[in-house]
Amino acid sequence: MNTTPKIEANNLENLNSSISSSYSYTQDEISQYQEELNSMDADQIFELYAKIAKSNEIKNILNQFENFINSSGDQIVIESISETIHNIDISKVRKEFNTFCKIKQHNQSFLVSVMKSKRYSSLFQYFLNYYIIDWILNTNVKHIKTHLICIVFYLKCFQDHSLIDKIKTYKKKR
């Protein structure tokens, strides 16, 4: 028998309305919700993600990733990942990442570029696995559940690269 997780895509509208900005989620509640999302298959999580794809959560996560690289991140880990892959130090990683960020806005297109990048994808994956939940817990994030949907979807993209191609990106018409 197919057991469906408690979250259904058609109830997404209720997610944001049920989230009170004055309520502070505990680590256990966040972990429980994250596990619930992790138990979904790729199509289910993509369906949830597609409904919030134009939200600020994506920009928030990408802004935090940029902050992680440029200042607050674990310098030793960033440098060791970068040296292992490309043999460059932290200052060069930051300089190149800033250049990378300047040419793109923090949107779906930038997200896809980061995820497909040989240089930054491993750093982004590390950031999602080890830092983003701390940011959610330590800041006044209003829509925690929708942030978690994005995070879980991005992590599933690293497991199944075909999901990256499902992310809608818009190209400017010339």
Domain ranges of the chain: 25-166
Which is more confident, 125 or 104? 125
Instruction: Report the distance separating Cα 71 and Cα 73, nearest Å.
Output: 6
Q: Would the pLDDT of 14 be above 60?
A: no
Dihedral (C-alpha) 88, 94, 96, 97: value to the nearest 10 degrees? 120
Q: In 10-143, which residue ranges form alpha helices assigned H by DSSP? A: 12-18, 27-38, 42-51, 56-67, 75-86, 90-102, 108-116, 121-130, 132-138
The DSSP letter of residue 160 is -
CB 111 within 8 A of CB 150: no
User: How sure is the predictor about 73, in pLDDT bands with cuts at 50, 70 and 90?
Assistant: low
- pLDDT tier at 172 (50, 70, 90 boundaries)? low
What confidence score (pLDDT) does residue 167 get? 87
Enclosing H/E stretch for 53: none
Of residues 90 and 47, more confidence is placed in: 47
Look at the alpha carbons of 125, 127, 133, 139 in this order and tell me if their dihedral is positive or negative: negative
Residue 22 has pLDDT above 50, yes or no: no
